[in-house]
Amino acid sequence: MAPVGARMEDAMDLAEGIRRRGFRKWYEGQLLQSHLHMLLLLFCTIGLLGAFEVFDRAAAPGTQLSVALSALFCVGVGVLALRRYLFLLMHAEAAAHQAVCTGCGAYGRLELLPTVAAAKADVPVRCKRCGHSWSISD
């Protein structure tokens, strides 16, 4: 579970994304960013497999160390990329499931309402079609 400060920052990103680009464009951007992290994970996996292929016990200790450090680097970056991929994907999907107006059934046709309490992680929105208001919780 993310710390409260991180959740507040993500709620601000959602609110700012809706304000600047609209919900659908924000959602597409989140999915694109998450899938770029998945691509980075794929490259790290290829780098790790390459390090395993190049590693030779008969090589000089300096060469062995550099290959081992390269493998550790690929593992570290890969783990961070996987975590970020899953976080962004789950965050976007959680917001998308709440972006359907219960009044008219419109998806993603939202406008941001002014927030009253800055300590809440909820983003108040209103349907552009029927005017129904609700909050998207983060």
Distance CA 70, CA 61 (A): 14
Spatial contact of 26 and 15, defined as CB atoms under 8 Å apart: no
Return the half-sphere exposure (C-beta side, CA atoms, 13 A cut-off) of residue 110: 33
In the chain, where are the structural domains located? 4-99
Nearest by Cα to 105 from 127, 84, 120, 125: 127
Beta strands in 1-138 (DSSP E): 110-112, 122-127, 133-137
| One-letter amino acid for residue 49 of the chain | L
Lowest-confidence pick of 2-6, 74-78, 126-130: 2-6
Segment 44-70, tens digit of pLDDT = 999 999 999 998 888 888 889 999 999
Using the structure block, give the residue that is written with the tokens 């999907």.
93
Which string of DSSP letters, residue by residue, matches 40-69? HHHHHHHHHHHHHHH--TTS-HHHHHHHHH
In angstroms, how far is the first alpha carbon of the chain from the final one? 12
**pLDDT digits over 70-110, tens only?**
999 999 999 999 999 999 999 999 999 999 999 999 999 98
**pTM of this structure:** 0.79
pLDDT digits (tens, 9 = 90+) for 20-44: 999 999 999 999 999 999 999 999 9
